Structure 1
Amino acid sequence: MNWVLVVIGGMVGAPLRYLTDRAVQSRHDSVFPWGTFAVNVVGCLILGLLTGAATAGVAGPHLQLLLGTGLCGALTTYSTFSYETLRLAETGAGFYALANIVASVTAGLGAAWAGVWIAQGTWA
């Protein structure tokens, strides 16, 4: 049964990642990977909210599998972040590569902490 929840979450997360990435990137005339950045930060926020909700006892293991493992596992993408950063560096856009690393890690951690903080304020 648990694997079904992961599959359902992934079935939503994967196309959501693709469509969001394309929509965000099409609005920016830049080599910076804004679409990947956006889905990763949103995924970190969702995981933070889910973690805070689980800590408060309002999100059980089934919701964690559905949203955390399934949805966020398919929505977020460390491999694409790594690939795009490497491609930026290889094509001479070293500043953008470094900016992608710093901004992604900083914003991702900030979003996760913000999610936990919001959840704790809501359900604690």
Structure 2
Amino acid sequence: MSMHWALLIAVAFGSAIGGVARFLIREYLPLWLNVDFPIGTLTVNVIGCLLAGVLMSYWQAVIVSPVFKAAILVGFLGALTTFSSFSVDTLALVQEQNYAKAGFNVFVNMTFSLIAVFFGAWIGGKLAPN
């Protein structure tokens, strides 16, 4: 099998797992925590950004298969994190005229996701062998 096909299959497999994980977290976390806020989308975005930062930084110091990288970064984390769901959640809050909650949603998603990716990169750097 050529590298091209292996990459495509790896991304598809990772995407399937990431998409299912996002669906479960997005749908059930708000029910479990009993909150009236799109906490599931925020959670997948922050966790995904943290993991992306850790892996990107760590993988700079170790040898990792391009197929495995594609499966995790592009496939799994790409499907787990979701800018479209974040945007739809925000639109729904605006349509409900809940402007404060919509603004808060934008602020926490952008702020925490960026903090998470930088913090993750720092962690990955600390974990990497010298």
TM-score, with structure 1 as normaliser: 0.92
1:7 is matched with: 12
Task: Extract unaligned runs of 5+ from structure 1.
Answer: none
CA contact (8 A) 1:53 1:59 kept: no
Counterpart check, 1:59 vs 2:64: yes
Distance 1:58 1:116, change over 3 A: farther
Q: Does 1:17 align with 2:17?
A: no
Residue 76 of structure 2 corresponds to residue 71 of structure 1: yes
Name the aligned partner's letter for residue 101 of structure 2: Y
Q: 2:30·2:36 contact (CA, 8 Å) conserved in 1? A: no
Distance across 2 between alignment mates of 1:3 and 1:77: 20
- How far apart are residue 58 of structure 1 and its match? 4.0
Amino acid at match of 1:76: T
Larger Rg: 2
- 1:88 aligned onto 2:93: yes
Structure 1 distance, partners of 2:117, 2:64, is 16
Identity %: 31
C-alpha separation between the residues in 1 aligned to 2:104 and 2:85? Answer: 15
Contact 1:13 1:74 (C-alpha < 8 Å) held by counterparts: yes
Counterparts of 1:117 and 1:59 in 2: how far apart (Å)?
19
* Alignment partners' CA distance in 2, 1:87 and 1:70: 27
CA distance in 1, matches of 2:122, 2:112: 15
Amino acid at match of 2:9: V
Q: Where does structure 2 lack aligned partners over 5 or more consecutive residues?
A: 1-5
Number of equivalent positions: 124
Aligned mates of 1:62, 1:28 — CA distance in 2: 36
TM-superposition CA deviations, 1:44-73 (whole Å, max 9, x none): 011111111222234342222011000011
